[in-house]
A and B are shown apart, each in its own frame.
Chain A
Amino acid sequence: MFSVIRARRHAAAGFAALLVIAVAACGSTGASGSSATASGPYTVWDPYPQFDNGSAWVRLLTKCGSDAGVQVKRTAFDTTDLTSKVLLAAQQGVAPDVLIVDNPVISTLAQAGVLTDTATAKVDTTAIEPNLLAAGQLNGKTYGVPIGANTLALYYNKNILQAAGVDPAGVRDWSSLTAALAKVKAAGKRGITFSAIGTEEGSFQFLPWFWGAGANLTNLSSPQAVSALSLWTTWLADGYAPNSVINDTQTTSWQEFATGQVGFAENGTWQLSNAKQTGFPYGVIPIPADNGGATAPAPTGGEFVTVPVASDSGRYRTSAKLVACLTSAGNAYTTDTTLSYIGATATLQQKQAANGDLSSWVAAVRSAKGRTSDNLGTKYPKISQQLWTAVQAALSGSASPQAALRTAQDAAAAATR
């Protein structure tokens, strides 16, 4: 009897000891984590999980690290995860030394105090094209360097347009585009696909039409905005665009184009390498504005290389070296080529424009506009949410374009007041 009790007591002591060890282990990992960021390798977070350790991108990171005399520890995240991961890391004081992040997130992170501005970290931005840099600026300060840029344009299927008797060079405004879609439909194919999904992607895809009509994000219910949304709504009603665009991401809408049954597709620079694998000849034209034959300003996409706030400001010097290395002309050219991006400096853009494939993309990037530009900053996400909701409401038929945009404007005004 006694031995049983003693055994029990021993077991209890054992459990208690285990618990102490477990708690201590938690504590020690936390401690070693913070000490690692104080003197250990430099951490880099990027949204390119498609690149593994053998890729040119990771080799470039390692090389930039050894040039700066430090070891680089890289972690890749899915781009939609990265914002919340960074916010959490910043809350715990374990933000990475260098962060590569999608440009519309910059203003949010900057306002949260997660990022240093380029003056503090001593990062040079003089060579960067102002329309691309604007996406990373808030209240007169710049919070990073674009690694490159992408934007939207219209891909077309040469076979389909030829069979339907459409000359892509003649598509210079909305009425000529709609006429072309009608011809494609008459030839038995689908006119156009795009993504109108109820997320940021939907707003991203709608903005070239919204801005191309002359509308402004500060007034979502202007007549110009209504005309842009009416354009999309009539395309759906007339069967020029499939109804599934309401739920299509840019990837799924691309897959529809890749089946070879669709005349046009609104999609981004990053699909260029996929376009070569579709098995049919394709071309690219800039998205036309409402009238006047001009190119509509498309929103800029692409990531910024930033330096998050660190507890030890001595680290900024090396971090800045890493940023400079990643965005230097030669390295950025390699990176932009792997990502199918357009360079962020005039020199790079000229070099790329010489390549026939990219010349229309360079033109599109030059007329592109940052979503958070016009000092919208953190107001943009709130406006954008209302914008994509209005697009969804009008396309799904639950409200007219006017009514949907009126509701959106009221909600956006209330949210940004």
Chain B
Amino acid sequence: MNNRTRLRPAGGGETPEVDASPRLGRPLRRARSGQWAAWAFLAPVVAYLALFYAYPLYRNLDLSLRDYTVASFVRGGAPFVGLGNYRTVLADPTFGPALLHTVVFTAASLAFQFTIGLALAVFFHQHFRLAVALRALFLVPWLLPLIVSASTWSWLLNSDSGLVNYALHLVGVGPVDWLTSPHWSLVSVILANVWIGIPFNLALLYSGLQSIPDTLYEAAALDGAGAWARFRRITLPLLRPVSAVTLLLGLIYTLKVFDIIWIMTRGGPVDSSTTFATWSYRLGFGNLLPAFGSGAAVGNLLVLMALLFGLVYIHTQRTAPAA
């Protein structure tokens, strides 16, 4: 009883008896059966999570801790090697470049997607004629299957017959080996990924903008705030929760981007556009002789990175002042 009153919020403390009396009057059995019912309701979700999240994660962890050859994959009995696969992966000459490319790919993609997405969201928030139609058009990249957009990009960026080089040629710039030069391949896949990611940022940030009351802008305008000041002092701070979610979702999505890179460059030439995602696939499936153990190890490093940023997000949400 003491506990309960202590836990109650100050405002509710005035009438504890009204709330407590019927509960004390009920038989204990009913409360327990209510708990059973609650668990039964939870069961489908728990089963789903266990089956489709926990078990695959456990399997991936198990794969990464064993020395799997094709033979032991089929017949079982792969020896436990502890962190051996992780040591192999860390010592691999591909590790350094792959880590660097993953970081650069993710950071550059996020920065450009978010900036351009925010600029477009603010632009479309002006409610001019045809704004809705135009905004719908901007969502097209999001609706296209990735294999279509990635193939289209690789045609556009083809060294000899690509439209981009043709356009460069028209303005007097020599051809660039977008996909086949080790200096440009990472830039090219980032370019394609930014294009694909803009609609996502646009849609989320636009809906965030709509929740900011117009009266704030009107009041600020009356106080003599210019467009830039209104953007900096009202839009940005009030968009912060939406921005944080957009960036976090974008980050997790971008970390695991595989299809675009694989279709456009196969992570090459050599390792020049290899990220953890394509490296993990190449180890596990890109060769006639699959290396499931090291492939799973790289995959787990990727999961770890995403988890880390998820924790950072939760931390900032907790410490940030309630907006």
Contacts and interface: CB of A to CB of B under 8 A. Distances in A.
A108 B70 contact: yes
A404 B267 CA distance: 17
A13 interface: yes
Interface string A233-266: 0000000001110110000000010000000000
A399 B272 CA distance: 12
Given A5-B34, A112-B70, A105 B44 contact: no
B159 to A, nearest CB: 4
B289 interface: yes
Nearest to A407: B93
Contacts of B285: 84
B37 interface: yes
Nearest to A391: B269
Contacts of A398: 182, 269-270, 272
A243 B177 contact: yes
Contact of B158 (A83, A244, A380, A389): A244
Interface string B258-287: 000000111111101000000000000111
A396 B180 contact: yes
Contacts of B177: 243, 396
Interface string A197-221: 1111000000000000000000000
A294 interface: no
A380 B289 CA distance: 9
B307 interface: no
Contact of B290 (A84, A90, A199, A242): A84
Nearest to A8: B37
Contacts, number: 125
Interface string B166-183: 000000000001011110
A378 B270 contact: no
Contact of B266 (A8, A12, A113, A197): A197
Contacts of A200: 287-288
B304 interface: no
Contacts of B287: 200, 381-382, 385
B265 A247 contact: yes
B154 A247 contact: yes
A217 to B, nearest CB: 14
B30 interface: yes
Contact of A247 (B43, B47, B179, B289): B179
Interface string B137-180: 00000000000000000100011110000000000000001011
B126 interface: no
Contacts of A402: none
Contact of A105 (B40, B180, B264, B288): B288
A83 B75 contact: no
Contact of A108 (B34, B158, B270, B288): B288
Interface in A373-417: 378, 380-382, 384-385, 389, 392-393, 395-399, 411
Contact of B74 (A11, A16, A90, A190): A90
Contacts of B289: 108, 378, 381-382
Q: How large is the interface on A (under 10, 10 to 19, 20 to 34, 35 or more residues)?
A: 35 or more
B36 interface: yes
A109 B37 CA distance: 50
B268 A392 contact: yes
Q: Provide the main secondary structure of the chain A interface.
A: helix
A268 B181 CA distance: 27
Interface string A265-284: 00000000000000000000
A90 B264 CA distance: 33
Contacts of A104: 288
Interface string B214-240: 000000000000000000000000000
Contacts of A113: 71, 74-75
Interface in A78-102: 83-84, 87, 90-91
Interface residues of B, number: 42
Contact of B160 (A16, A91, A244): A244
B53 interface: no
A15 B43 contact: yes
Contacts of B74: 87, 90-91, 112-114
Contacts of A90: 74
A411 B271 CA distance: 14
B123 interface: no
A392 B273 CA distance: 13
A399 B269 CA distance: 11
A249 to B, nearest CB: 10
Nearest to B269: A396
Contacts of A19: 43-44, 47
Contacts of A242: 159-160
A111 B74 CA distance: 10
Interface in B8-53: 30, 33-34, 36-37, 40-41, 43-44, 47
Interface in B59-100: 69-71, 73-76, 93
A190 B159 CA distance: 14
Nearest to A114: B74
B84 to A, nearest CB: 15
A399 B265 CA distance: 18
Contacts of B272: 396, 398
B269 A9 contact: no
B288 A15 contact: no
A399 B289 CA distance: 26
Contacts of A12: 36-37, 40-41
B30 to A, nearest CB: 7
B270 A389 contact: yes
B73 A91 contact: yes
A397 B181 CA distance: 8
Given A87-B70, A90-B74, A381 B288 contact: yes
Nearest to A104: B288
A111 B70 contact: yes
Given A112-B70, A398-B270, 9 more contacts: A84-B290, A190-B160, A197-B266, A242-B159, A243-B180, A244-B158, A247-B179, A247-B180, A382-B289
Interface of A: 5, 8-9, 11-13, 15-16, 18-19, 83-84, 87, 90-91, 104-105, 108-109, 111-114, 190, 197-200, 242-244, 246-247, 256, 378, 380-382, 384-385, 389, 392-393, 395-399, 411
15 contacts: A5-B34, A105-B288, A112-B71, A199-B266, A243-B160, A243-B177, A244-B161, A246-B269, A381-B287, A395-B269, A396-B181, A398-B182, A398-B269, A398-B270, A399-B270
